[in-house]
Amino acid sequence: MLSNLREEGKLDPRVKRTRNLILQAFSGLLGEKGFEAISVQDVTDKAQINRATFYAHFTDKYALLDYAISRVFMQEIEKRTLNACSYTHDNLRNMIIAVCEFLSHLHHDCAQPHEQFESLVEGTIKKQIFDLLSHWLKQTKAKIPTEIPATVATWAIYGLASLYSHSKKRPALDKFVDDALPLVAVNLEQFV
Amino acid sequence: MLSNLREEGKLDPRVKRTRNLILQAFSGLLGEKGFEAISVQDVTDKAQINRATFYAHFTDKYALLDYAISRVFMQEIEKRTLNACSYTHDNLRNMIIAVCEFLSHLHHDCAQPHEQFESLVEGTIKKQIFDLLSHWLKQTKAKIPTEIPATVATWAIYGLASLYSHSKKRPALDKFVDDALPLVAVNLEQFV
DNA sequence: TGGATTTTGTTGGCTAAGCAACACTGGAGC
DNA sequence: GCTCCAGTGTTGCTTAGCCAACAAAATCCA
């Protein structure tokens, strides 16, 4: 999951092409009609690929959502070169920013963020955050168990980003993170 | 050649896809570096398709140019629904406008219109004009030979469009055609 | 409820696209 | 002259995508 994007370069060009077509069509549709209303047909029609081809890549539309969300989030992460590093306050800060930005963009781009959609996104993103955090924390010399602190931090970060992205009058992101960061960092001090 | 665009709808989606990729890449390159400087490699690299696939569609880059030019020109013709009709002064007028517009766009979009490029375009377009004119003229009841009048008109029309598209201070197209139309039409009166 | 549509996954046979390797041509530079 | 190199077409084999048809849900609505 950490090297998703790098591995894609080596794929058969046809595979890259169809996946991109599917992703484009899907995100276009997300802007129009909300996830629940989208059928696999809709996606393959818009992408101009055969329906059978869709199933060669994804088991269903939920797998597609998962893939699409992960991919966009990963770009947000890689943009800040957070994918290959270890735990520091600065990295943590940037990760919080990344999640906030990601959710903000998502709410901006998607038509009617329904409940089901939101909770699917939450699951996918929390998994990504958890994996990345765990990876960071395992770099530390002291062999401290990481599962509990990583879990707490993951949920806290997602909760913060959710709050931020839903707030009517969205405050300056830097300011917001300044206030929030210490509350997350306090549980991770031992890994600095 | 008259039904080129309509037949394309029935093609295998993969074929349509690759041809479009090739066309896009090609017209992009034409804007950058001039036809002579473009290699088949360049096209396939930019289109992200395999070089062997290119040769499954076109014998060489000249065939591609021919195809690309014909296609764009045909769009200009179909836009004015000149593809399925017979000879009238009004249709002739519209055809002249179409050729002028086409050449103007071409000179705007392409980097350095070299001699070889220009003459290849000329050959392709004159063939299209001739075929279309012949088709029109054959609709007439009187069975008059069409080859000579169609040839004269074809060359005249292309010459006019070339003059128009190369002129520094390009005059209003309507005015230009008003002046030029009678000189072409005079040889086609018998087909009205 | 119950019948009529959509949608969903899945399949087998066919066709287009990818790939690596080849021999060949035609400059560019020495 | 010569080699070197980049581009050209071509080939046999592999893989991905297309298609039509199917049974099995799910959805609609009368």
Q: How confident is the model at residue A84 (pLDDT cuts 50, 70, 90)?
A: confident
Work out if B55's Cβ lies within 7 angstroms of strand D.
yes
Q: Is the dihedral of CA B12, B13, B18, B22 positive or negative?
A: positive
Q: In the 57-86 stretch of chain A, whose C-beta falls under 7 Å of nucleic acid strand D?
A: 57
Q: What is the pLDDT of residues A135-177, one digit of tens each?
A: 999 988 888 899 999 999 999 999 999 999 999 888 899 999 9
State in Å, rounded, how far the first CA of chain A is from the last one: 24
* Nucleotides on chain D within 7 angstroms of protein Cβ: 6-12, 15-21
Q: What pLDDT is recorded for position A63?
A: 97
Q: What pLDDT is recorded for position A4?
A: 60
pLDDT at A3 over 60: no
**CA–CA gap between residue B181 and residue B172 (Å, rounded):** 14
Mutate to test the interface with A, among B14, B16, B17, B44 (most CBs of A within 10 A): B17
**CA–CA gap between residue A44 and residue A51 (Å, rounded):** 6
Q: Which residue in the set A13, A48, A50 is minimally distant from B48, CB to CB?
A: A13
State the DSSP code for B171.
P
| Positions in chain B whose pLDDT score sits under 70 | 1-6, 113
**CA–CA gap between residue B185 and residue A4 (Å, rounded):** 65
Map tokens 């329906």 to a residue: A51
Q: Judge contact between B79 and B97, C-beta under 8 A.
A: no
Q: What pLDDT is recorded for position B115?
A: 79
CB pairs under 8 A between A and B: 10
Q: What pLDDT is recorded for position A31?
A: 92
Contacts of B175 (CB under 8 A, 6+ apart): none
Q: How far is CA B17 from the centre of its chain?
A: 22
Across the interface, whether the CB atoms of A50 and B13 are under 8 A apart is answered yes
Q: What pLDDT is recorded for position A143?
A: 85
CA of A72 to C1' of C20 (A): 34
Q: What pLDDT is recorded for position B168?
A: 86
Q: At what angle do helices B173-185 and B147-166 cross, to 10 degrees?
A: 160
Q: What is the pLDDT of residues A11-28, one digit of tens each?
A: 999 999 999 999 999 999
- A17 CB neighbours in chain B (<8 A) are 17, 48
- Top pLDDT among A174 and A1 is at A174
**CA–CA gap between residue A148 and residue A145 (Å, rounded):** 7
Across the interface, whether the CB atoms of B17 and A48 are under 8 A apart is answered yes
Q: What pLDDT is recorded for position B170?
A: 82
Q: How far is A18 from chain B (nearest CA, A)?
A: 11
pLDDT at A10 over 70: yes
Q: What is the pLDDT of residues A40-61, one digit of tens each?
A: 999 999 999 999 999 999 999 9
State the DSSP code for B12.
-
Q: What pLDDT is recorded for position B116?
A: 85
Q: What is the pLDDT of residues A64-81, one digit of tens each?
A: 999 999 999 999 999 999
